[in-house]
Amino acid sequence: MNGATYVNPKHSMPEEVIKELDLAQQEELEEMHQQRDLAKYARPDEEARAHIAETRRSVARSLGIDLDDYRAREAEHRARQLRKLEEVAETHVGLDRHLSPLDLEPPAPRAADPSFWFARAEASETTPFNGKFLADGLHFTGKATYNSGSLSFRNFGARFRYELQSNRIPPTSTGRWRSDPHVEIFGGLLGSVGPPDLFSGDRWSKCWMIRRQTLFQFVFAPPGVDNRRILGQRADAQNLIFLETSGLGGSGTRAVTLPGFQPMPSLVISSPSPGISIWAELEVRFDIQLEGNSVLWIHPNDVLLRGFQWPLVGNA
């Protein structure tokens, strides 16, 4: 699950902070895996799909359907669908991007600068997706091709971490502050499910973009107790691709161009503990579900993810 990591050499994170965040992330991953296991139990697995397929074959034979002729027609249909996928891939054009390199090593902000200071970025992905930090940001590539009955989960994305030291928290007359970060996401995604097949069962190709902002502080706590004080957290899930067809009919392809500028969920916080830093974590994750004859492809080229510093401002 873990991927490449980029650390700002001008802003090191304390080891105890990294350890606490890693433990919190591991708990989140375990909860996510539990939710995925529950989702799998709600779907027929490979064995159940094979039993359903054999039942349908028996019914077809009893009705006098020529299964060899059916398979030949379905193979021809499948070939046409693959050609259509390649045609869509050839014509799918993402946003043009003529981007300057990122400042991946921003220096310490001035005393009056209320900006969150970039410290660390961590990519995460599952096979076959791969993340790599280059001068202009974090690049992801990969093509997931699936042809199994059991529901499969894949993902790729990153977490960006920032610090706002207590002496740089701006004054506010209301006792509240607003945090409005953004990221940039370039590139495209292509989803496809195979053609109808009476015996193959359902086919899924789905993708959601998850965006989350969390603001927190590290406060005193007994050993073994999570010492993060969550000041605010907000997440948003946006469905990008939702292809779901049954074995009785339907097929499809969907191409999505990612937006470039992408606001993160906004937060309003109050009453931070005085004298200690406010930390921020921005997460962007693409969650993928595949079932049956299906494809989810980063196309064209790659997905580029860029994170930026931003100010905490007093909220009126």
Q: How much is the mean pLDDT over the chain? A: 86
pLDDT digits (tens, 9 = 90+) for 250-281: 568 899 999 999 999 999 999 999 999 999 99
**Residue 79 identity:** A
In the structure, what pLDDT confidence band is assigned to residue 143 with cuts at 50, 70 and 90?
very high
- Going by pLDDT thresholds of 50, 70 and 90, the confidence category of residue 166 is very high
Q: 22-26, 72-76, 211-215: which has the minimum mean pLDDT?
A: 72-76
Amino acid 168: pLDDT: 96
Measuring CA to CA, how many Å separate 224 from each of 13, 221, 273, 298? 20, 8, 21, 41
For the residues 120-137, what does the mean pLDDT come to? 96
Does position 12 have pLDDT exceeding 70, yes or no?
Answer: yes
43-52, 146-155, 198-207: lowest mean pLDDT where? 43-52
Q: Which residue did the predictor score with more confidence, 199 or 252?
A: 252
Mean per-residue pLDDT, 227-256: 85
pLDDT at position 196 over 60: no
Q: Are 204 and 192 in contact (CB under 8 A)?
A: no
Contacts of 111 (CB under 8 A, 6+ apart): 167, 168
pLDDT (mean) for 149-169: 94
Instruction: Tell me the mean pLDDT in the region 177-186.
Output: 97
Whole-structure pTM value: 0.86
Confidence of residue 113 (pLDDT cuts 50, 70, 90): very high
pLDDT tens digits, 18-71: 888 888 888 888 888 888 877 777 776 667 666 666 766 676 677 777 667 766
Residue 194 near residue 81 (C-beta atoms within 8 A): yes
Work out the burial of residue 97: count CB atoms within 10 Å of its CB; fewer than 13 is exposed, 13-18 middle, 19 or more buried: middle
Higher pLDDT: 315 or 256? It is 256
Sheet with 312-314: strands ordered across: 267-270, 176-179, 312-314
Stretch 115-139: mean pLDDT, rounded?
Answer: 96
Q: What is the predicted pLDDT for the residue at 154?
A: 96
Q: pLDDT value at position 228?
A: 85
